[in-house]
């Protein structure tokens, strides 16, 4: 039995702020239990829902040398869907009202503690992994510590590590002297070939340098991050590690996102019945959001963090033109104030056509996937993206920019060969996006049978975790040397 340990800062169903939690919650369930024993370590946040805290069992506790003092490390455990979870408990570090905070130095200290504690608990829980699978900068120190202080003695010998980059933009940076003091790492680790980058200590860089393999969440993003535009200052290092870098596209949980069984939607439907039944969701959503009730009017959805990365400035640029078209536009999400206010403004100005919902609701998100005709994702960069996979699953046609995972998962419509699962545009340009939307409108209004065939192909595509899990299993085998 091969043993794999996931170490991550969040995971469904316990704590979630973004796509990382979906990966950490879904991937271990899909890895073949006959050959792999997969377990997960995450922090025990005070802001976790009480129902999950009540399920945790105490395992042990000890004191660990960290940042010039002895810090308490509690270990709790529970099992969900056949996966064993461990929780690192320390009230000082994980006590906030949210899983992350706005103080970058405090974040570095908390997750340095978490990384060291995650390795320190292993002998006590009697679990020696063959591979430790780390996620994003918060666990970047795990491969570093593994090579630095945990390599002596039999227990930690031959443990391999892999780090998955979910978003290269976030790296965990601070000045080297402070980070050295917090982590206790020797000064020779803070050099340009190790943790130092542009005069900062960089935790993600440490993970990339010291891990035995590096993955990211789509093939195209794995190529893009080797270039200066997408490389966030680490493109040289990623080119140097090109032989150990691979892209494996994320999946989605096909049990949770299933229009045949989804409890949140008004009318369930399948790939066979969507032509009749899907529109009933649209009617209900139009009524719920106070939009004009019209089965025929093309409805476009957008569910997103409202940040620069998501291409919202392109929408701002052409919204006045777009609203002249025969469409409705539904937005759900929170983020930067200027984008929240921009969508509120368009909702006020074009209330018959635009519905801006500046909050987050799991139920409303499912309803938007099930109700809309098309789904817009004009991202500047998108490591993988999950929304377009959910849209395909619900027979909602994606309109995307050809970047990262969007390029890998949405096949552009070709009217001459009658192929494709969505519409796309390549340059980060507002009018190129507008042209793609208007092309989609033309097919929707003038060639309904073609539109329905696009939906057929999209709903038939398989982006469940099972496909991705097999690729991760191959990588684990390769690392372990099978």
pLDDT digits (tens, 9 = 90+) for 60-113: 999 999 999 999 999 999 999 999 999 999 999 999 999 999 999 999 999 999
As a whole number of angstroms, the distance between CA 390 and CA 369 comes to: 7
Closest CA to 381 of 277, 280, 232: 232
C-beta separation of 323 from 435 below 8 A: no
Strands 298-303, 327-332: pairing kind: parallel
C-beta separation of 66 from 114 below 8 A: no
Q: How many Cα atoms sit within 13 Å of 40 on the Cβ side?
A: 28
3-state secondary structure of 332: strand
Spell out the alpha helix ranges (H) of 217-334. 219-224, 235-240, 274-289, 312-322
Structure tokens at 459: 């709903």
Give 63's strand partners.
72
Q: What is the pLDDT of residues 169-220, one digit of tens each?
A: 999 999 999 999 999 999 999 999 999 999 999 999 999 999 999 999 999 9
Residue 132's pLDDT is 98
Buried b (16+ CB within 10 A) or exposed e, 315-354: bbeebeebbebebbbbbbbebeeebbebbeebbeebeebb
Q: What do you get for the CA distance between the two ends of the chain, in Å?
A: 12
Strands 69-80, 354-357: pairing kind: unpaired
Q: What is the pLDDT of residues 417-451, one digit of tens each?
A: 999 999 999 999 999 999 999 999 999 999 999 99
| Backbone torsions φ then ψ of 271, nearest 5 degrees | -60, -25
Residue 297's pLDDT is 97
Give 135's strand partners.
164
Q: How far is CA 208 from the centre of its chain?
A: 19
As a whole number of angstroms, the distance between CA 58 and CA 189 comes to: 35
As a whole number of angstroms, the distance between CA 199 and CA 201 comes to: 7
Residue 149's pLDDT is 81
Q: Residue 57 to residues 60, 64, 203, 308: CA-CA distances in angstroms?
A: 10, 21, 31, 42
Structure tokens at 153: 């003695």
pTM (whole model) above 0.85? yes
391 contacts: CB under 8 Å, gap ≥ 6 = 301, 369, 372, 375, 397, 398, 458
C-beta separation of 448 from 424 below 8 A: no
Which own/partner pairs from 476-479 qualify as long-range (CB within 8 Å, at least 24 positions apart)? 476/2, 476/4, 476/36, 476/130, 476/131, 477/2, 478/213, 479/130, 479/131, 479/160, 479/162, 479/212, 479/213
For the chain, domains (ranges, CATH) are: 2-251+466-480 (3.40.50.2000), 274-462 (3.40.50.2000)
Residue 17's pLDDT is 85
Structure tokens at 114: 């978490």
Give 146's strand partners.
none
Residue 154's pLDDT is 84
Taking 70 as the pLDDT cut, the residues of the chain under it are 151-152
Residue 287: how many other CB atoms lie within 10 Å: 11
As a whole number of angstroms, the distance between CA 233 and CA 211 comes to: 19
């Amino acid at each position: 039995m091969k043993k794999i340990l996931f170490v991550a800062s969040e995971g469904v169903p316990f704590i979630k702020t973004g796509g990382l939690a979906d990966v950490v919650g879904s991937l271990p369930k899909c890895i073949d239990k006959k050959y792999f024993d997969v377990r997960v370590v995450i922090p025990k946040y005070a802001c976790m829902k009480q129902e999950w805290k009540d399920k945790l069992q105490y395992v042990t506790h000890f004191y660990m040398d960290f940042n010039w003092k002895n810090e308490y490390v509690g270990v709790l455990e529970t099992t969900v869907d056949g996966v064993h979870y461990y929780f690192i408990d320390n009230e000082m570090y994980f006590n906030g009202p949210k899983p992350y905070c706005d103080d970058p130095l405090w974040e570095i200290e908390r997750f340095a503690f978490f990384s060291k504690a995650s390795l320190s608990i292993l002998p006590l829980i009697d679990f020696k992994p063959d591979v430790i699978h780390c996620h994003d900068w918060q666990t970047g120190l795990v491969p570093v510590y593994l090579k630095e202080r945990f390599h002596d003695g039999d227990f930690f010998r031959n443990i391999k590590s892999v780090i998955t980059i979910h978003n290269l933009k976030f790296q965990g940076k601070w000045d080297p002297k402070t980070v050295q003091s917090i982590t206790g790492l020797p000064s020779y680790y803070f050099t340009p070939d190790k943790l130092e980058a542009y005069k900062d200590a960089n935790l993600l860089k440490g993970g990339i340098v010291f891990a035995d393999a590096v993955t990211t969440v789509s093939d195209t993003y794995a190529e893009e991050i080797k270039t200066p535009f997408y490389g966030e200052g680490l493109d040289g290092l990623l080119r140097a590690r090109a032989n150990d870098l691979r892209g494996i596209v994320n999946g989605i949980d096909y049990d949770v996102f299933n229009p045949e069984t989804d409890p949140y939607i008004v009318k369930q439907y399948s790939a066979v019945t969507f032509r009749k039944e899907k529109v009933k969701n649209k009617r209900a959503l139009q009524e719920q959001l106070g939009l004009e009730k019209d089965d025929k009017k093309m409805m476009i959805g957008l569910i997103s963090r409202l940040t620069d990365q998501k291409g919202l400035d392109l929408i701002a640029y052409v919204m006045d033109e777009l609203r002249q078209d025969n469409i409705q536009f539904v937005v759900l999400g929170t983020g930067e104030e200027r984008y929240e206010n921009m969508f509120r403004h368009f909702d006020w100005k074009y209330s018959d056509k635009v519905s801006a919902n500046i909050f987050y609701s799991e139920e409303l998100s499912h309803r938007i996937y099930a109700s809309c005709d098309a789904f817009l994702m004009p991202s500047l960069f998108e490591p993988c993206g999950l929304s377009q996979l959910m849209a395909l699953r619900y027979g909602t046609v994606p309109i995307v920019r050809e970047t990262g995972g969007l390029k890998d998962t949405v096949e552009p419509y070709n009217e001459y060969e009658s192929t494709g699962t969505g519409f796309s545009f390549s340059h980060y340009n507002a009018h190129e996006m507008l042209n793609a939307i208007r092309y989609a409108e033309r097919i929707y209004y003038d060639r309904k049978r073609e539109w329905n065939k696009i939906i057929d192909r999209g709903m038939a595509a398989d982006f469940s975790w099972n496909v991705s899990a097999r690729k991760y299993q191959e990588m684990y085998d390769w690392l372990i040397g099978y």
